[in-house]
Structure 1
Amino acid sequence: MIDSQSVMADAVAGSDSRGFDGGKNINRCKQHVVVDTLGLLLGVMVTAADTGDRTAAHVLLGQVADTQHQLELVWSDGGYTGSLVAHCLTVLALVLAIVKGSDDMRGFVVLPKRWIVEGLFAHLMRPRRLARDFERRTASAEAMVYWSMPLLMTSRLARPHPV
């Protein structure tokens, strides 16, 4: 799954990761993530909030496809439609499946398969360091997201399993 989330940018955040998010009317950065079906991170890219999802997905999906050779199918929301679907199929040999809700749905509804990436975003907000972007460089912000993943993996390993 691929998705993005806007995160508040602190005053010390670098200018390359700050942009005006028109939907939220505030300067923010945007975390674009690709996760597997277990919700484990495959790739992350931090950009300014005014960077479009499709633009970032071209780069991020290319990076993930280079490292994850068995990747064949990527689910996404309606923000990734358009020429990105054809680009994924022809250049990256990936099927980009758009998961959409019906037209009569109102408000924020998590669709099937999409809850996995939303769960990762919820996990990323648990460490106080990731609740806001304090990093001066986007590479540092991406490293902090990767740094939080062992916390998620060890908590899943330590979870008691029913007998």
Structure 2
Amino acid sequence: MTDPEWTLLEPLLPPPGNTTGKGGRPEKWSRRLVMDAIFYLVRGGIAWAQLPHDFPPAKTVYDIYQRWTKAGAWQRIHDCLRDRARVRAGRKSQPTAAVIDSQTVRGADTVAAATAGYDAGKKIKGRKRHIATDTLGLLLAVVVTPASIQDRDAAHRLLAAVRTRFATVSLVFADGGYTGRLVVWAKTVLVLTIQIVKRSDAATGFEVLPRRWVIERSFGWLVKHRRCVRDYETRPDHHEAVVYIAAIHHTLTRRLARDSGPTT
């Protein structure tokens, strides 16, 4: 990380386990070095045991990552930075519209069989990540399921998460895979209007679709991190954490640090 990026992140990290000499050991390793190690692993797609010796011990980094994942720290850090990015872009911190879609990811042999499935449409065995973004492409919510789960079924959890976190969202853009009872359920239960953006019947080849291109770009941002190209996580919540970490690293801290200009 650069100095401006660390300046953004440091105040958002969970408090140390030992701040007054009680309640556990003092932290031995620099938090900046730990964050660099986690970003390095997610960007490079390496195994934990393959972290270079320039970083703290792999077990120490993994234990911190796991502890912060369990505490929901990655989502809180991401959400704070996302709100700042929206304000910096001239938007209100709370969005009023969202875009939803899914992406199937092939699972490695480290993925538990009970949490994986087969996507017959994509012919891929692994997991599926369902995400919601705002109209800037910034992440609002993520749900990880076995790849065998249909988009419409997983969208119930995804839209419920969006409604819980953002009372201001009233409109959701989606593709044709979300048509049917989900539209009625979202309207009556969550008071969300789902607008289906369909591909033109006359179109041939690639076509840029209104609103939907935003979330496709977000998936493109995520797969710049090799840990997101293939699923290596033993647990779905760890996969969700990796998605948030990738968004923090690529989409938010770099953008905010760049827009803030040089520090004095």
Specify the TM-score bucket, using the shorter chain as the normaliser: over 0.9
State the match for 1:157 in structure 2: 256
- The aligned counterpart of 1:60 is 158
> Which of 89, 92, 98 matches 2:196?
98
| Amino acid across the alignment from 1:153 | L
CA apart distance, 1:23: 1.9
1:52-100 Cα shifts (integer Å, max 9, x gaps): 0000001110111011110110000000000011111110011100001
What amino acid sits opposite 1:120 in the alignment? S
Is 1:39 aligned to residue 146 of structure 2?
no
Determine which of 107, 114, 119 is the counterpart of 2:217.
Answer: 119
Partner secondary structure for residue 7 of structure 1:
strand
| 1:85-131 deviation line (CA, Å, top 9, x unaligned) | 11111100111000012111234433111111001100110112111
Compared CA separation, residues 65 and 160, structure 1 to 2 (3 A): closer
- Which sections of structure 2, spanning at least 5 residues, go unmatched? 1-98
Unmatched 5+ stretches in structure 1: none
Amino acid at match of 2:190: L
Match of 1:80 in 2: 178
Q: In 2 relative to 1, CA 113–54 (structure 1 residues): closer, same or farther, beyond 3 Å?
A: same
* Contact 2:105 2:124 (C-alpha < 8 Å) held by counterparts: no
| Matched-pair contact (CA < 8 Å) for 1:16–1:137 | no
CA separation in 1, counterparts of 2:186 and 2:154?
A: 13
1:4-23 deviation line (CA, Å, top 9, x unaligned): 00111101112233111112
| Alignment correspondent of 1:21 | 119
Q: d(CA) in 2 for partners of 1:65 and 1:28?
A: 28
In structure 2, C-alpha distance between the alignment counterparts of 1:107 and 1:18, rounded to whole Å: 31
Q: TM-score, normalised by structure 2?
A: 0.58
Q: Kindly, what percent of the aligned residue pairs are identical?
A: 47
Once residues 207 and 112 of structure 2 are traced to their aligned partners in structure 1, the CA distance between those partners, rounded to angstroms, is 33
More helix by share: 2
Structure with greater strand percent: 1
How large is the RMSD of aligned CA atoms in angstroms?
A: 1.5
Q: Which structure ranks higher in relative contact order (CA pairs < 8 Å, sequence separation ≥ 6)?
A: 1
Matched residue of 1:103: which SS? Answer: coil
